[in-house]
Amino acid sequence: MIDFLLNGQPRHFAASPDTSVLELLREGLGQTGTKEGCASGDCGACTVAIGETGPGGQVRYHSANACITPAHQLQGRQLVTVEGLAQGVTLHPAQAAMVECHASQCGFCTPGIVMSLFTLYENKHEGETTSPAPLTPQRLEAALGGNLCRCTGYRPIRDAALSMNEYPEQPPPWRDAAAPAPKAEDADAAFAQPRTLAELVELRRRYPEAPIVAGGTDLWLEVTQRLARFQRVVDVTRVAELQVIEATTLEDGREGWWIGAAVTYSRLEPLLEEHHEAFAHLLHRLGSAQVRNRGTLGGNIANASPIGDTPPVLLALGSRLWLAGPEGERELPLDAFFLDYKKTALNQDKEHEGEVIRAIFLPRPEPGRHLRVWKLSKRREDDISAVLGAFSWRLEDGVMRDVRLAFGGMASTPKRAVAAEAALEGQAPSPGAFQAARLALAQDFQPMSDVRGSAHYRRLSAANLLERLRLVLLGDGQAQQGDHTDRDVMLHAYAH
């Protein structure tokens, strides 16, 4: 059973473990304002707002794609849909602005757009208590980047967003309503929600076949696209130890942070913006706000996709993993985690059966170390990579040191280009050294052809990214100090 608030009204509903929020709304509760478009988290037509009560008792909302959000994750939370915004004939400012600006035509995508604007409006103070935070073009595009509209050309939608704050603030009466108290965890529940790492490990021991879900941004595509059915699911989003971001120093002296495996991209983003700007900017190309609000770093790693966006960056940074299982806990370099296509060091033998990722070590930037990240995809935003390159190095006395070159989309796993690294290590960034590195890529990778790119395209693209890196180094050497940042050479997601 799921106990939650729907537009302020208590709901108690039974659902199978593989039910999505969209399915629950439309087929179970008869709430059809939320639309199904792509059923894969791309179009935003199904956008809803999920509210969680913070330490101070205030509800914080985040937008989510209902089509790929597990319904059972609503337990003890608020769900807001387009039906719940108006109070009688009085529209919410997001709705009123859309009407005034003529921002709807066919109307199919409109409910999702309104819900994205609702979360933007309700969270506008961003920690301030008196005046709203400025609605910059970056914030607006980030909020609406996951909502597609084939009719309007987006200008009237943008106008509506910019004019929302001109309307009187009339909070819905249920805005800060208390969600149902968390229920006691049933270890035999078909949708298990452990609260501690020990409970999670025990569930993995008892039900090794049950898939683990955090954000569901990839796993739930098995349901919507391949029509898979799950008899049992283990949800890690309530595990306290997996929600922690903790500063640490490793035994080798490196400083950084342990990032809990269930920490979402949205929570991680401020830390990356302060310390790894190129990595932070990549998140805006990884997925929409709806995806970043749900997806997790641990899930992107455990999924072990060869075209996952974050693993190559973490490989270039020299990240480590903290694993936990019935036999205890251990650390290992991320390099040693990916074994083959969709095969990892988790559960690789009887000694490590039942293991889960507890946390990921994100190194603090070292003085003089640089990071560049470039992603190639058919769409500039919200698309899967064809090739992604992440490069880290130090320039010491005119030569490159500690070179780490990692790629996604070039092999059956995210992988470092060790032969190309060796060709650059200890060398000045000359055309000859980079020519040797480009030739060495043939030793590192034998990419495959698929719908996102041919093997030839991938080989050429990887070589061109190395040439781009050489030109960046050449430009940095000729520029005045401070003229370049790690972000300057990103393939920007936005036109600002």
Question: What confidence category does residue 488 fall into, taking pLDDT thresholds of 50, 70 and 90?
Answer: very low
The predicted pLDDT at position 264 comes to 97
Q: How far apart are alpha carbons 165 and 170 in whole angstroms?
A: 11
Residues 342-358: tens digit of each pLDDT: 999 997 777 788 899 99
Task: Flag whether pLDDT at 180 surpasses 80.
Answer: no
Written as one letter, the residue type at 286 is: L
Q: Are 2 and 112 contained in the same domain?
A: yes
Residues 419-447: tens digit of each pLDDT: 999 999 999 999 999 999 999 999 999 99
Q: What's the whole-number mean pLDDT along residues 487-496?
A: 39
Q: What is the DSSP string of 407-452?
A: EESSSSS-EE-HHHHHHHTTS-S-HHHHHHHHHHHHHH--PPPBTT
Task: Flag whether pLDDT at 480 surpasses 60.
Answer: no
Task: Flag whether pLDDT at 493 surpasses 60.
Answer: no
Inside any domain, residue 232: no
The predicted pLDDT at position 132 comes to 60
Q: Are 316 and 443 contained in the same domain?
A: yes
Q: How far apart are alpha carbons 408 and 415 in whole angstroms?
A: 7
Q: How far apart are alpha carbons 390 and 259 in whole angstroms?
A: 20
The predicted pLDDT at position 136 comes to 81
Lowest mean pLDDT among 2-16, 52-66, 382-396: 52-66
Report how far apart, in Å, the C-alpha atoms of 276 and of each of 268, 350, 363 are: 11, 38, 10
Q: What's the whole-number mean pLDDT along residues 221-228?
A: 93
Q: What's the whole-number mean pLDDT along residues 466-480?
A: 78
Phi, psi of 370 (to 5 degrees): -115, 155
Q: Are 334 and 256 contained in the same domain?
A: yes
Q: How far apart are alpha carbons 322 and 58 in whole angstroms?
A: 33
Task: Flag whether pLDDT at 187 surpasses 70.
Answer: no
Q: Are 125 and 257 contained in the same domain?
A: no
392: tokens are 């880290």
Of residues 326, 362, 342, the one with CA closest to residue 245? 362
Contact 325, 355 (CB under 8 A): yes
The predicted pLDDT at position 161 comes to 94
Phi, psi of 81 (to 5 degrees): -120, 175
Lowest mean pLDDT among 120-124, 233-237, 379-383, 476-480: 476-480
Task: Flag whether pLDDT at 484 surpasses 80.
Answer: no
The predicted pLDDT at position 84 comes to 93
Return the number of other C-beta atoms located less than 10 Å from residue 91's C-beta. 18
Q: Are 245 and 385 contained in the same domain?
A: yes
Q: What's the whole-number mean pLDDT along residues 125-148?
A: 74
Lowest mean pLDDT among 58-72, 232-246, 351-365, 472-486: 472-486
Contact 146, 44 (CB under 8 A): yes
**Given 3-state DSSP classes, what are the helix, strand and coil percentages for the chain, each rounded to the nearest 5?**
35, 20, 45
Residues 235-253: tens digit of each pLDDT: 999 999 999 999 999 999 9
Q: Are 166 and 290 contained in the same domain?
A: no
Inside any domain, residue 202: no
- Domain boundary residue, one of 157, 183, 209: 183
- Domain boundary residue, one of 183, 217, 250: 183
Q: What's the whole-number mean pLDDT along residues 126-155?
A: 77
**What is the domain-level CATH number for residue 172?**
3.10.20.30
297: tokens are 């770093």
Written as one letter, the residue type at 233 is: V
Inside any domain, residue 341: yes
Name the domain count of the chain: 2
The predicted pLDDT at position 168 comes to 86
The predicted pLDDT at position 36 comes to 96
- Domain boundary residue, one of 149, 183, 217: 183
Provide the domain limits for residue 91.
1-183
Collapse the DSSP code of 373 into the 3-class scheme (helix H, G, I; strand E, B; otherwise coil) and give the result: strand
Q: What's the whole-number mean pLDDT along residues 388-396?
A: 96
Exposure string of 332-344, with b = 16+ CB inside 10 Å and e = fewer, is eebbebbeeeeeb
Inside any domain, residue 260: yes
149: tokens are 């509209």
Q: How far apart are alpha carbons 311 and 407 in whole angstroms?
A: 9
Task: Flag whether pLDDT at 314 surpasses 80.
Answer: yes
Q: Are 178 and 306 contained in the same domain?
A: no
The predicted pLDDT at position 490 comes to 42
Residues 200-212: tens digit of each pLDDT: 999 999 999 999 9
Q: Are 414 and 275 contained in the same domain?
A: yes
Residues 76-113: tens digit of each pLDDT: 999 999 999 998 889 999 999 999 999 998 999 999 99
Inside any domain, residue 217: no
Q: Are 364 and 456 contained in the same domain?
A: yes
Q: What is the DSSP string of 39-81?
A: SSSSS-TTEEEEEEE-TTS-EEEEEEEGGGSBGGGGTTSEEE-
The predicted pLDDT at position 353 comes to 84
Q: Are 310 and 162 contained in the same domain?
A: no
Inside any domain, residue 494: no
Higher pLDDT, 255 or 482: 255
The predicted pLDDT at position 156 comes to 94
Q: Are 150 and 273 contained in the same domain?
A: no
Q: What's the whole-number mean pLDDT along residues 144-150?
A: 91
Inside any domain, residue 56: yes
The predicted pLDDT at position 481 comes to 39
The predicted pLDDT at position 444 comes to 97
Residues 258-267: tens digit of each pLDDT: 999 999 999 9
Q: Are 136 and 262 contained in the same domain?
A: no
Question: Mean pLDDT, the chain, as a whole number?
Answer: 90
**What is the domain-level CATH number for residue 287?**
3.30.390.50
Task: Flag whether pLDDT at 494 surpasses 80.
Answer: no
Inside any domain, residue 470: yes
